Structure 1
Amino acid sequence: MEYTKVPFGRMTRRRGAGGRGAGSARGKEPGEVRGSARRRSIRLRAPEAPARKLARAPPPRLRRPAPPPWRAAMHARDVTEHWLQSLDFAVQPPGKVTIDGVLVRDLTVHLDGRGEVTELWSRPWTQHGFVVPEHAYQSATDHGVVKCWHLHEVHTDQFTVTRGKLQVALVDLREDSPSFRHVNSVFLGSLRPRLLKIPPRIMHGWKALSAPEVLVVNFQTHVYDPADEFKFRWDCVLADVWEPKNG
Structure 2
Amino acid sequence: MSNLPLRAVKVDEGLILRSSGDVIDGVEIRRAKVIPDERGRLGEIMRADDPWFEKFGQVYFTTTYPGIVKAWHFHKKQTDHFYVPKGLIKVALYDERKESSTYGTVNQIYLGEHCPGLVRIPPGIQHGWMCVGNEEAYIINIVSEMYDYNSPDEYRTGPHDNHIPYDWERKDG
Name the TM tier (shorter chain).
0.7 to 0.9
In proportion to residue count, which structure has more helix? 1
**Equivalent residue, structure 1, for 2:171:** 245
Equivalent residues of 2:60, 2:140 under 8 A apart: yes
Q: CA deviation at 1:130?
A: 3.3
Equivalent residues of 1:108, 1:119 under 8 A apart: yes
SS in structure 1 of the partner of residue 77 of structure 2: coil
Compute the TM-score of the two structures, normalised by the length of structure 2: 0.84
> 1:175 and 1:89, CA in 2 relative to 1: closer, same or farther beyond 3 A?
farther
Equivalent residues of 2:80, 2:120 under 8 A apart: yes
More divergent stretch after superposition (110-119 vs 200-209):
110-119
1:220 corresponds to 2:146? no
Which residue, out of 156, 164, 167, partners 1:231?
A: 156
Structure 2: unaligned runs, 5 residues or longer = 9-16
The one-letter amino acid of 1:96's match is R
More divergent stretch after superposition (211-220 vs 237-246):
237-246
Equivalent residues of 2:55, 2:144 under 8 A apart: yes
**Equivalent residue, structure 2, for 1:119:** 44
**Equivalent residue, structure 2, for 1:163:** 86
**Equivalent residue, structure 1, for 2:60:** 137
Q: CA deviation at 1:164?
A: 1.1
Distance 2:96 2:165 in 1: 17
> 1:99 and 1:240, CA in 2 relative to 1: closer, same or farther beyond 3 A?
closer
User: Matched residue pairs, number?
Assistant: 159
Q: CA deviation at 1:153?
A: 0.7
In proportion to residue count, which structure has more strand? 2
Q: CA deviation at 1:230?
A: 0.9
Equivalent residues of 1:171, 1:182 under 8 A apart: yes
Q: Deviations over 1:179-237 (max 9, x none)?
A: 00111101111112111000001000100011220000000000013431111211123
Equivalent residues of 1:167, 1:243 under 8 A apart: no
The structure with the largest alpha-carbon Rg is 1
**Equivalent residue, structure 1, for 2:7:** 93
**Equivalent residue, structure 2, for 1:208:** 131
Equivalent residues of 2:4, 2:165 under 8 A apart: no
Tell me the percent identity. 33
